[in-house]
Structure 1
Amino acid sequence: MTGDNRRSVDITVRDDGRSATRPSRPRAPTAADAPEAWDEACIVPNASTSLLCNVGSGSAPGTAPDDVVALAVEARSRLTIPLPRPTVRPLVRFADGTTGGLTGAPAWLWTDPAHWQPSGTPLTREVRAGAVTAVVSAAPVRLTWRPGDGSRVVCRTPGTPLEDPRRGPAGSPDCGHTYRRTSADRPGGEYRASVAITWAVTWAGSDGSGGALAPLVVTTTLAYPVREGRAQLVGP
């Protein structure tokens, strides 16, 4: 629990929601439930369950009892949010055996789409204290990619995999970036990129109340060397 809502009661946590007093399912989370202004304040380091953000102003209906809201916050704190698993392509093999990207060549980024709406499956968690129950639903709604060169790319989808290399030069249709400078002057000769995924969280209580809680943001980093591509004239 958080704040002054701690009580001496038994709490039951369920992942499958199979309970006689189970409330209605929360509505599907959307980007509107996770304003971008929350992103920096709600980061969950290394997928930890310790939250760095509170319930947003107006996130729960004013008529919802404090104990239902407190249970919803408790359920959110028990969500296990997976770390992002981003992939960047293309990967060009350099003369020294390492792989990376080229300046001027569009880079494609994508991640696991399993929980993204509309076809993905949101994560859910249920908490019950006595006769009061709350269920939360969480789904990724935004990917923020900082390629490491000072730029920032916001993607509203998990990105499109580069399955056909011939499509690479056209650039990703929904999550891409083009490096204009090499990473030669960076530590290790590579860009340290970060990928943050924002998860919106909605909830429903056994008394019919519900709403949205502050989002969760989980971040990971990756290395991506970028070198200059040069044309080489070869004999016939």
Structure 2
Amino acid sequence: MPAVRKDRSAVAAVVASALGIMMTVPSVARAADDFGNESQNPRENTSGDKSGNDISASAMAIHFDQSRNGKGGGAGPVTPAGDWTPPPCWYQPKWTAKQFKAYTEPIWEAGSTGYEWDAAQRKRYEGGEPYKDFNLDKQDEGYWWDAVANPDRIAEPAALSCDKPTFWVDKGDPPNVPNAVTPEILGQLAYDRIRVPDTEVKLSPDARQTVNLPTWAWLDETAFKPVSVTASIDALGISATTTATPVSLRLDPGTEDAELHPASGECPIEDGRIGTPYTKGQGDRTPPCGLTYLRASQDGPFPFKATLTWKISWEGSDGQGGDLPDGTFGTTTEVTVQEAQAVNR
């Protein structure tokens, strides 16, 4: 088939997929129809096989279990350290033999992709060059694999880099192609679904701060816990769980006229917690995590920012695993600082 026709078809198909339109050209990157299903979706039979023996299309999609993810209105995605991004595209099982035949033949009959394209596809998947009759004689022995574009990176040229035509893989055989879906890729995709709770830092004083009076900062232990997302493909029996664990809190007073405690502004975990709650009588002590403003906020409140760093790792169903880039998530609060000659705390 001509290269120009293939490239134009790929672009059209990816754009259509991004808009949620059923694509009419096989063998190009797909997005939303193969990606992003939640674990609650039904595993219905979609092949047209009334016996129910044919595996459902849903079972070949990626499903995300977010039951242990961060929740609440303030929860949000982490910002990865550096310029790391999840993969722009990958290959995964898409159809059984019957499903691929049922999907492709109406496209040929419609003639919407042109005679040359259709003829080349018929040779490849029906005429024995190299596949014969969609591999129907191997219906229970494998799946047709296809490219999937990451919907979050659909506008990037890299989303079209997985351009290998639809191909067959026997069950249990490793796909002989780069970027085939693995637990590691699932772990990277789950990273993008991680949501962490709002960084609600407790301050004492909790209203107006006072010049030269230490402000204590700490995190509520009940919100200070790991979150995780599991990505899986039922048809392959593979999965990966990506976990984000809070490791340190960075304070930014919003002005250069302040001292940080510790001086780096990075409050580490100590005894399973970050910072120490203020108790009465500690007003003149230096807090293990906090800051001291050196001037009043006469021109308006200071934008105090608390940013939590999360260590992120993945563990796959194949026993493999490792670290992914740390992520950060912060909250900015307006802080008013007043002058005072004497303060009782």
- TM (normalized to structure 2)? 0.46
- Is residue 76 of structure 1 aligned with residue 191 of structure 2? yes
Distance between the aligned counterparts of 1:171 and 1:49, measured in 2? 33
State the superposition RMSD in angstroms.
3.0
Distance between the aligned counterparts of 1:5 and 1:212, measured in 2? 28
- Is residue 176 of structure 1 aligned with residue 312 of structure 2? no
Report the equivalent of 2:267: 155
| Aligned-pair CA distance for 1:16 | 5.9
Contact 1:72 1:134 in 2 (8 A): yes
Contact 1:47 1:218 in 2 (8 A): no
In 2 relative to 1, CA 68–81 (structure 1 residues): closer, same or farther, beyond 3 Å?
Answer: same
Contact 1:5 1:67 in 2 (8 A): no
Aligned-partner residue type, residue 76 of structure 1: Y
Which of structures 1 and 2 has the bigger CA Rg? 2
Residue 79 of structure 1 aligns to a residue in which SS? Answer: coil
| Aligned-pair CA distance for 1:183 | 1.0
- Is residue 12 of structure 1 aligned with residue 63 of structure 2? yes
In 2 relative to 1, CA 50–226 (structure 1 residues): closer, same or farther, beyond 3 Å?
Answer: closer
Report the equivalent of 2:216: 108
In 2 relative to 1, CA 198–51 (structure 1 residues): closer, same or farther, beyond 3 Å?
Answer: closer
In 2 relative to 1, CA 13–231 (structure 1 residues): closer, same or farther, beyond 3 Å?
Answer: closer
| Aligned-pair CA distance for 1:132 | 1.4
Gaps of 5+ in 2: 1-28, 35-59, 69-73, 87-179
Contact 1:51 1:77 in 2 (8 A): no
Aligned-partner residue type, residue 209 of structure 1: Q
Tell me how many residue pairs correspond in the alignment: 178
For residue 246 of structure 2, the aligned residue among 108, 126, 140 is: 140
In 2 relative to 1, CA 50–220 (structure 1 residues): closer, same or farther, beyond 3 Å?
Answer: closer
**Taking every aligned residue pair, what percent have the same amino acid on both sides?**
27
Report the equivalent of 1:62: none
Distance between the aligned counterparts of 1:123 and 1:138, measured in 2? 5
In 2 relative to 1, CA 50–216 (structure 1 residues): closer, same or farther, beyond 3 Å?
Answer: closer
Aligned-partner residue type, residue 62 of structure 2: I
In 2 relative to 1, CA 48–202 (structure 1 residues): closer, same or farther, beyond 3 Å?
Answer: same
Residue 266 of structure 2 aligns to a residue in which SS? Answer: strand
- TM (normalized to structure 1)? 0.65
Contact 2:310 2:328 in 1 (8 A): yes
Distance between the aligned counterparts of 2:197 and 2:63, measured in 1? 23
| Aligned-pair CA distance for 1:105 | 0.6
Distance between the aligned counterparts of 2:291 and 2:199, measured in 1? 18
Aligned-partner residue type, residue 212 of structure 1: D
Contact 1:68 1:134 in 2 (8 A): yes
